């Protein structure tokens, strides 16, 4: 089964002439909102004001789950991994952009990992098989993620043309949907795109209630 993803990009009147807020909405072919979709903006012009890079981000271990399920970051970001559980987690990834293993002994312990290469980093816990999350490391200066309603508001964009890259954990392999040359201006416009998602969605299930071993 193929799902269509419809991306609607509205350019809205910004608070200043030089910047615009952009609402992005992503839905599938059934009209259902698609949460956890990463939208990253590649400007086709030289930004006159540098975008402040988010130097840090957080991937929590809480209730035997990772949170958030999808974390978009820019290249060069240091992500902290705080453990809110009373027990150990052994977080790992063997994804190409970053291979690592983190040993988190107990509650309130936090360790960090620096992500210097772009790409998708799938996370697992060697102790808790149900745990699953993704860190999307983008080479673009602006990244955002849709909420449960499939929407995200990107604020204070510099007017101009952007390629908008969309990523989701359930993208059919090989697909890399891009909304090409989207013009962001003060008077706004609508852009739609179509991508294929796998019929079986990756989800992070809550832990089994009483695992024996």
Partner 1 sequence: MDRPKATPLVALSVALALCAATAVEAEGLPAVDFEVLADARLSVVSGEQSWFDDWLGKLRYGGDRGGEGQGRFRLAELSLMARSDITWDLQAFVHAKFDPEQDKPADLVEAFLHYKPVPTSSVQYEARAGLLFPHISRENIGAAWTSPFTITPSAINSWVGEEIRALALEGKATLRLENQKLSLTAAVFGFNDPAGSLLAIRGWALGDYKTGAFSQVPLAPVPSIQPGGFLEDQPLWVHPVRELDGRPGFYASLDWDYAKRVKLGAFYYDNRGDPETFKHNQYAWDTRFWNFYAEVEAPAGIKIMSQFMTGNTMMGTLYDGMRMVDADFTAGYVMATRKLGPHRISLRRDWFDVDDNTFVSQDNNNEVGTAWTLAFNAKVGKKANLIAEFLHVDSNRPAREGIWRDAEQDQTQLQVSYRQRF
Q: Kindly list the residues in this chain that would bind partner 1 in the complex (CB under 8 A).
A: 87-88, 90, 92, 94, 99, 101, 103, 105-106, 124, 126, 173, 198, 200, 202, 205, 208-213
Picking from 168, 175, 176, the residue whose alpha carbon sits closest to that of residue 203 is 168
Q: Pick the closer one to partner 1 by CB: 90 or 185.
A: 90
**Alpha-carbon distances of 93 from 16, 167, 208, rounded to whole Å:** 43, 19, 22
The gap from C-alpha 169 to its chain's centroid, in whole angstroms, comes to 9
Q: Pick the closer one to partner 1 by CB: 176 or 210.
A: 210
CB of 86 to partner 1, least distance (A): 10
Q: What is the distance between the alpha carbons of residues 119 and 140, in angstroms, rounded to a whole number? A: 11
136 near 167, Cβ under 8 Å? yes
68 near 134, Cβ under 8 Å? no
Reply yes or no: is the peptide bond before residue 191 cis, omega within 30 of 0.
no
Q: Pick the closer one to partner 1 by CB: 17 or 212.
A: 212
CB of 36 to partner 1, least distance (A): 16
CB of 107 to partner 1, least distance (A): 11
CB of 177 to partner 1, least distance (A): 18
Q: Pick the closer one to partner 1 by CB: 49 or 212.
A: 212
Q: What is the distance between the alpha carbons of residues 134 and 66, in angstroms, rounded to a whole number? A: 9
Q: What is the dihedral of CA 125, 131, 86, 213, to 10 degrees?
A: -80
CB of 208 to partner 1, least distance (A): 7
CB of 212 to partner 1, least distance (A): 6
Q: Pick the closer one to partner 1 by CB: 103 or 180.
A: 103
81 near 73, Cβ under 8 Å? no
Q: Pick the closer one to partner 1 by CB: 150 or 169.
A: 169
- The residues facing 163 across adjacent strands are 42
């Amino acid at each position: 089964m193929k799902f269509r993803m419809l991306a609607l990009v509205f350019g809205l009147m910004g608070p200043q002439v030089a910047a615009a807020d952009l609402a992005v909405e992503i839905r599938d072919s059934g009209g259902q909102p698609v949460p956890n979709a990463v939208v990253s903006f590649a400007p086709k012009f030289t930004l006159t004001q540098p975008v402040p890079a988010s130097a840090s981000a957080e991937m929590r271990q809480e209730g035997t789950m990772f949170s958030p399920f999808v974390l978009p970051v820019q290249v060069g970001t240091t992500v902290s991994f705080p453990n809110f559980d009373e027990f150990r987690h052994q977080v790992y990834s063997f994804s190409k952009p970053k291979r690592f293993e983190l040993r988190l002994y107990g509650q309130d312990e936090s360790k960090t990992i620096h992500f210097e290469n772009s790409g998708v980093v799938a996370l697992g816990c060697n102790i808790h098989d149900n745990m699953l999350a993704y860190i999307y490391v983008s080479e673009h200066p602006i990244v955002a993620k849709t909420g449960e309603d499939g929407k995200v508001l990107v604020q204070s964009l510099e007017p101009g043309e952007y390629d908008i890259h969309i990523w989701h954990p359930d993208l059919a392999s090989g697909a890399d949907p891009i909304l090409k040359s989207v013009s962001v201006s003060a008077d706004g416009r609508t852009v739609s795109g179509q991508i294929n998602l796998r019929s079986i969605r990756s989800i992070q299930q809550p832990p089994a209630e009483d695992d024996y071993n």
